[in-house]
């Protein structure tokens, strides 16, 4: 039986840069716990699931705009190859990572962490896989790997046998103000899910309006605090025009 089989908690990281791990997680408390088999780490290279000779994993976003978007078929294949626990996507759009969320994840036998890059991941695979989106905070990183490390480190500390004195744990204590709208890329139809018509219209104003509406709806649903601030500022601006 291998270390991964004996471990109390198993984490699989889907990333374009598997060489970044274990990184800091191989040191200090987390590193000692990893060596002791209290938890186990597996990294999966997303490029291994690309379908062309160039190992392409991304494509340009429908509706235009800068950057690239990770393809749904590639990400879906990578997730399917893991099959270990809930899938968490590290993204600024997600629910805030709190100690309560960390405890929730540490209590599961295994978790799969998806590290995004570029402009993000095609929305359809997130919906299809019912991916849990989690944010480290209201700031932007170059990729999800540092956020994944932070989440893992926080969770490992809660595992039995990691902290010498468990009682110590009991003593411890965005640009327009909106979350980002969903992203889509090729193929235009994937697993029966089509890209929204507005993004295929080529009509810039319609695309802009769709994105704003989705950004507002996402912010209102996921971050009431940001939404209250945004709505208040909008009302104030409207009142100053009268």
pLDDT attached to residue 133: 97
Domains assigned to the chain: 1-242 (3.40.1280.10)
pLDDT attached to residue 52: 86
Do 132 and 6 meet the contact criterion of CB atoms below 8 Å apart?
no
What's the burial of 2, exposed, middle or buried (CB within 10 Å: 0-12/13-18/19+)? exposed
CA 177 to mean position of chain CA atoms? 20
Segments of the chain scoring below 70 in pLDDT: 1-7, 165-175, 242
Q: Which two tokens stand for residue 236?
A: 């104030």
Instruction: List the beta strands (DSSP E) in 118-238.
Output: 132-135, 189-190, 193-194
pLDDT attached to residue 171: 46
Q: Of 147, 121, 40, nearest to 84 (Cα)?
A: 40
Q: Of 138, 71, 82, nearest to 113 (Cα)?
A: 82
pLDDT attached to residue 56: 94
Helix (H) or strand (E) holding 90: strand 87-96
CA 68 to mean position of chain CA atoms? 16
pLDDT attached to residue 110: 97
β-strand 110-115 against 9-15: which pairing, if any?
parallel
pLDDT attached to residue 7: 59
């Amino acid at each position: 039986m291998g270390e991964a089989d004996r471990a109390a908690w198993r984490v699989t990281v889907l990333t374009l840069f598997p060489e970044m791990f274990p990184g800091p997680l191989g040191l200090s408390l987390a590193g000692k716990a990893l060596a002791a088999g209290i938890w186990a780490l597996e990294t999966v290279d997303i490029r291994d699931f690309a379908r062309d000779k160039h190992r392409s994993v991304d494509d340009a976003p429908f509706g235009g705009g800068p950057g690239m978007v990770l393809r749904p078929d590639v990400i879906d294949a990578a997730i399917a190859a893991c099959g270990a626990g809930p899938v968490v996507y590290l993204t600024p759009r997600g629910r805030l990572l709190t100690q309560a969320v960390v405890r929730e994840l540490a209590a599961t036998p295994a978790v799969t962490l998806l590290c995004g890059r570029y402009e993000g991941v095609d929305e359809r695979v997130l919906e299809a896989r019912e991916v849990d989106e989690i944010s480290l905070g209201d700031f932007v990183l170059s990729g999800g790997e540092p956020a994944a490390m932070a989440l893992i480190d926080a969770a490992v500390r809660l595992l039995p046998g990691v902290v010498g004195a468990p009682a110590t744990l009991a003593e411890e204590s965005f640009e327009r103000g909106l979350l980002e709208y969903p992203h889509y890329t090729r193929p235009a139809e994937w697993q029966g899910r089509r890209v929204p018509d507005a993004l295929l219209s080529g009509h810039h104003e319609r695309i802009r309006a769709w994105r704003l509406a989705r950004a507002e709806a996402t912010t209102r649903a996921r971050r009431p605090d940001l939404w209250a601030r945004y709505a208040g500022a909008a009302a104030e601006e409207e009142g100053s025009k009268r």
